[in-house]
Amino acid sequence: MDQHPLEGARILIVEDEYLLAAMLEDDLRAAGCTIVGPFSGLAQAMEASRREAFDVALLDINLNGQMVYPLADELSSRGVPAVFLTGYGALNLPERFRLHPRVSKPYDVSELVKTIRKNVPAPR
């Protein structure tokens, strides 16, 4: 894999665990990404998703007891790709999200980068 496999990609991070969010930032910056966030709450993440430009959203499903599904629905309706980062299995997700790209926690950096890379839109 090249040194910066996600060079130029802008990633919105929505994660409520501070240390995990910091690790995600470090790992994705090392892969060449620009980070938008991270955001730990649904309301601030939704607001940021409307005002910030980004290529892919990386979404923790459970944000301090609040599910991220409203944001995932909104992104889907706008055609913005999202990857779930979660400890939940696919069968624990609402049916409409079971085929969404998902990376399990704890995450493997190479798997995370590979999944995000698959979902970064091609340059226009």
Q: What is the predicted pLDDT for the residue at 52?
A: 96
DSSP secondary structure letters along 40-78: -SHHHHHHHHHHS--SEEEEESEETTEESHHHHHHHHHT
Q: What is the pTM of this model?
A: 0.93
Evaluate if residue 123 carries a pLDDT over 70: no
Q: What is the pLDDT of residue 62?
A: 95
pLDDT class of 65 with cuts at 50, 70, 90: very high
Residue pair 55/120 in contact (Cβ under 8 Å)? The answer is yes
* Residue closest to 81 by CA, chosen among 12, 6, 7: 12
Could you tell me if residue 59 is inside a domain?
yes
Q: How many CA atoms lie within 13 A of 84 on its CB side?
A: 26
Taking only the tens place, the pLDDT of each residue in 25-38 is 999 999 999 999 99
Has residue 33 been placed in a domain?
A: yes
Residue 37 lies in a domain: yes
Looking at the domain assignment, is residue 106 inside a domain?
Answer: yes
Q: Are 61 and 84 in contact (CB under 8 A)?
A: yes
Range of the domain at 41: 10-116
